Amino acid sequence: MTHAAVGLAIGYAFPIVRRGPRYWIACALLPVIPDADVVGFPLGIAYSELLGHRGLSHSLVFAAVLGLAAALLFRQTENRSWRQIRHLAMLFMLLAASHGPMDMLTNGGLGIALFSPFDPGRYFWDWRPILVSPIGLKNFLSPWGWAVVMDEVRWFGPPIGLLVSTIAIYRKITRKV
Ligand SMILES: [Zn+2]
């Protein structure tokens, strides 16, 4: 949820000519998609493997490919110029890439394979204030899950609120001038 909220805030802040429903859906979804790798657990893929949780799907390479593919999809489905598609590609790569460094702030699980597939190392930031989220909906609907939500609201709520309100005020002022 926090990944999606960060995506929507970045999507709001990003200077782009035309938004629309597909744009907002992309902003909310792209930062969340890396966690689709949890399907690997029932498939027997170990956490620590290349395709395991927080593996290749959380890398910068994956974010670049995903962002580019999403932008090209917009070229197919919306009548946008190549200039706009280039801007969208930059934004979408940034949105997808926001996931890994955010997970690196969590205090549990394995680290994030940010430089996979070139480097299989799993990384965290030195500062890890956020309680790691439990895996699976059933585990999430528990006191642990609730504590995670509160933790993420505490750490991400103020910067998101500040960013969005600053941009909103800035746009209101510059439109009036
Ligand atoms: Zn993740």
Q: Exposure of 16 by Cβ count < 10 A (0-12 exposed, 13-18 middle, 19+ buried)?
A: middle
| Alpha carbon of 81 to ligand 1 centroid (Å) | 33
| Alpha carbon of 127 to ligand 1 centroid (Å) | 17
Is residue 137 a part of any domain in this protein? no
Q: Is residue 176 scored above 60 in pLDDT? A: no
Is residue 35 a part of any domain in this protein? yes
Residue in this structure with the two tokens 């170990």, named with its chain if needed? 46
Give the mean model confidence (pLDDT) for residues 89-105: 96
| Structure token pair of residue 33 | 């998609």
| Alpha carbon of 94 to ligand 1 centroid (Å) | 15
CA atoms within 13 A on the CB side of 18: 11
Is residue 51 a part of any domain in this protein? yes
| Alpha carbon of 106 to ligand 1 centroid (Å) | 10
Residue count of the chain, please give it. Answer: 177
Mean pLDDT in the chain? 91
| Alpha carbon of 172 to ligand 1 centroid (Å) | 35
pLDDT value for 1: 81
Distance CA 63, CA 117 (A): 12
| Structure token pair of residue 177 | 């001038």
Give the mean model confidence (pLDDT) for residues 73-88: 89
3-state secondary structure of 123: strand
Is residue 108 a part of any domain in this protein? yes
Q: Do 10 and 90 meet the contact criterion of CB atoms below 8 Å apart?
A: no
Total of domains in the chain:
1
| Alpha carbon of 82 to ligand 1 centroid (Å) | 31
Q: Is residue 172 scored above 70 in pLDDT? A: yes
Query: ω into residue 117 within 30 of 0, thus cis?
Result: yes
Give the relative orientation of helices 21-29 and 60-77 as an angle to the nearest 10 degrees.
170
| Alpha carbon of 34 to ligand 1 centroid (Å) | 6
- 28: DSSP letter: H
Give the relative orientation of helices 143-176 and 2-13 as an angle to the nearest 10 degrees.
10
Is residue 107 a part of any domain in this protein? yes
Amino acid symbol at 39: V
Q: Exposure of 163 by Cβ count < 10 A (0-12 exposed, 13-18 middle, 19+ buried)?
A: middle
| Alpha carbon of 117 to ligand 1 centroid (Å) | 16
| Alpha carbon of 58 to ligand 1 centroid (Å) | 7
Is residue 32 a part of any domain in this protein? yes
pLDDT value for 11: 93
| Alpha carbon of 132 to ligand 1 centroid (Å) | 10
Give the mean model confidence (pLDDT) for residues 28-34: 97
| Alpha carbon of 104 to ligand 1 centroid (Å) | 9
| Alpha carbon of 169 to ligand 1 centroid (Å) | 32
Is residue 114 a part of any domain in this protein? yes
Give the structural domain span for 118: 2-128
Is residue 27 a part of any domain in this protein? yes
